[in-house]
Structure 1
């Protein structure tokens, strides 16, 4: 077992003093990252921005739709608004608001997939 490991270590060892000095001199230099790393960084940054905008638009749309409950009498009610009618209206608004926000919250997770598809062209070699 020690034989192959020693052979690999010997192959990595510098053969001369000049080779040792050259490897030490090159060790501190920053190597340039491959272009795919830059592309992935740009993709991730753009995807985060896209997701934030998507979620913000969904929340704004949810707030708008939650406010679309008609004021006045509730549908199917023949009584004029009274204090009891007002509490029914408030209950209806609360119910609709919760339902709308719940529906749009379920869509939040789709922002990631949507933005990923929209920005796939930023990574070279990916299938668009």
Structure 2
């Protein structure tokens, strides 16, 4: 697969825009049918982005190192955002959303299993 960051960047920006629109508190911005359509489009775009990330190829060791560094930063930011969400809900005396806990648990468990399998090789 070709090394093309423009496609990745445009796709990521579309995903971020859709995420911002999907927040939609109290159905203020759009009716429920449009909201549902945007959710489906979001699922397709995230799947497409995942395909690009999965098929990403490095041309040399430096690019491979950069790819690993970006992955590590993304993982740490993702876990930090989920922890902040869990703590904010807990401190606001709102029942903690189980999806936040499940997402954080899935990230940590996947990282742990990946490390164990990598060290067994």
Per the shorter chain, which TM-score range?
A: 0.3 to 0.5
Structure having the higher Rg: 1
Higher relative contact order (CA 8 A, sep 6+): 1
TM-score, normalization by structure 2: 0.33
TM-score, normalization by structure 1: 0.32
